[in-house]
Structure 1
Amino acid sequence: MNLIVSFLGIQIPALIVIFLCAGLIQVLLNKVLADLGVYEFVWHPGLFRTALFVCVFTSFSLLIYK
């Protein structure tokens, strides 16, 4: 199933929209987790942020494409 989103007359794949939404959610999650001090207890914060983004992106993708 190939989902296409039309934005201002331009057709773009739905995964690009999901990627951008996941990026915005990741920015908010990073801010919240940094304020809570979670990154002080994480071994590698960059790896943790990347894994968190992959989890958010995959979750949204599975909801749309299931």
Structure 2
Amino acid sequence: MHQIISIFGIQIPALILIFLFAGIIQILLNKVFADLNIYEFVWHPGLFRTAVFACIFAGFSLIIYK
């Protein structure tokens, strides 16, 4: 079942809002990981960031669409 959210009369798919929310969390996590020097222990930081974003997005999507 598709979830649709209405904001000011505009219908937006819930996945777009989840994507934006996951992006904000990813930006905050990126700053925390950079401050803790976690990227020194990661083989490919760009791939790691993408994987973390995919996990965050999938997790929130599964919670909403369960």
In the superposition, the TM-score normalised over structure 1's length comes to 0.98
Percent identical pairs in the alignment equals 73
Check if 1:36 corresponds to 2:21: no
Structure 2 unaligned regions, length at least 5:
none
- Over the residues paired in the alignment, what is the CA RMSD in angstroms? 0.4
Kindly report structure 1 stretches of 4+ aligned residues shifted beyond 4 Å: none
Paired residue type of 1:9? G
**1-structure distance, mates of 2:38, 2:54:** 18
> Shift of the alpha carbon at 1:24?
0.2
Q: Would you say how many aligned residue pairs link Structure 1 and Structure 2?
A: 66
